[in-house]
Amino acid sequence: MRFDTPPAIDDIRAAAVRLKPHAVRTPLLPVPLPGGGLAFAKAEVLQRTGSFKFRGAFNRLSLIDPAARSAGVVACSSGNHAQGVAAAAAILGMPATIVMPSDAPAVKVARTRELGAAVVLYDRATEDREAISAEIAGRTGATFVHPYNDAGVIAGQGTVGLEIAEDLSAQGLAADAVVVCVSGGGLIGGVAAALEALSPGTAVHAAEPAGFDDYGRSIAAGERVANARASGSICDALLAPTPGTIGWEIGRRRVVSGVSVTDEEALAAVAFAARTLRLVVEPGGAVALAALLTGKIETAGRTVVAVLSGGNIDDAMLTRALSL
């Protein structure tokens, strides 16, 4: 497949076949909402490495020519893509180098190293992670795997949408709305592509941290816009500066709207997930759930799904959420 154009449903189905022996088919769990409605959480926190990122990483690395695998792979990530790439590289017998921000949660850096990857730290505010990654790839011959602006990655993430549609259909249901946590747009692009084919009546909504709502503002403007800041939210997984070009081609026609939630609302959703769903969710992985809990997405009389995209949270942050 081509990696610079949006994936089609056949690419997503092919990704599902590659992933089946290695990834978890995560459950759709019922969510009791104060506002009513039939709500589900797609529990990607139970995915291998603790987030949906393993799906895209493994699919993309599987598509690297076997002759090029010995040179390895390089990626840049605040932590979840890092762990996904590291785990996928270990399965496929490839060396991996990950460029990570120095302010990434310690648990994400540690787990990336534990999975066998070399970690290169950078300053999120003053350095360009993609330039650093490109230099490493050029020097070593490694394949660069972008965290979201790559069709192979997006196709892997699209298996989340594939499973949502299939599992709801098995219950005789179809989602009125699916809410997705968004950073660079690889997950929402893949989910939207899958639902476009399998559940075209489903509205797709983006959920983002307040102040980092570039995707929602891009949908409203009809063109890609950027955030003014590179850091400043506890939702570290959702701080990409602007939507990726490849996923945006899907999102601009299929994503209905974007909503933003405050750090406090994200923390409240983390606490709700722990107490009510018995799931450990990181703040960035909880913003879609927060959008439902705060009523920013209408739920009454509807069937809605929130994707819980990641659960790699430091103990101190989880304690903070539970102390609210």
Q: How many CB atoms lie within 10 A of CB 200?
A: 9
Residue 59: the pLDDT is: 98
Task: For 38-68, write each residue's pLDDT tens digit.
Answer: 999 999 999 999 999 999 999 999 999 999 9
- CATH tag for 9-51+150-322 (out of 3.40.50.300, 1.10.3720.10, 3.40.50.1100, 3.40.50.620): 3.40.50.1100
| CA separation for the pair 306, 179 (Å, rounded) | 5
* Contact (Cβ atoms closer than 8 angstroms) between residue 54 and residue 23: yes
pLDDT at 201 over 90: yes
Residue with tokens 């990696």: 3
Query: What is the tens place of the pLDDT at every residue in 213-257?
Result: 999 999 999 999 999 998 999 999 999 999 999 999 999 999 999
Fold held by 55-144: Rossmann fold (3.40.50)
pLDDT band of residue 124 (cuts 50, 70, 90) is: confident
- Is a pLDDT exceeding 90 seen at residue 152? yes
Task: Say what the pLDDT of residue 52 is.
Answer: 98
Q: How far are the Cα atoms of 89, 116, 180, 206, 214 from residue 58, in angstroms, in the given order?
A: 8, 15, 21, 24, 27
Q: What is the pLDDT of residues 69-122, one digit of tens each?
A: 999 999 999 899 999 999 999 999 999 999 999 998 888 999 999 999 999 999
Region 266-270: what's the mean pLDDT?
A: 98
Q: Write down the pLDDT at residue 9.
A: 98
Domain ranges of the chain: 9-51+150-322, 55-144
Rounded to the nearest integer, the mean pLDDT of the chain is 97
Q: Do domains 9-51+150-322 and 55-144 have the same CATH topology?
A: yes
pLDDT of res. 123: 94
Residue burial 145-176, b: 16+ Cβ < 10 Å; e: rest? bbbbbbbbbbbbbbbbbbbbbebbeeeebbbb
pLDDT at 159 over 90: yes
Report d(CA 307, CA 43) in Å as an integer: 7
pLDDT on residue 36: 86
Residue with tokens 């990530």: 77
| pLDDT for the residue numbered 78 | 86
Counting residues of the chain whose pLDDT is more than 70, the rounded percentage is: 100
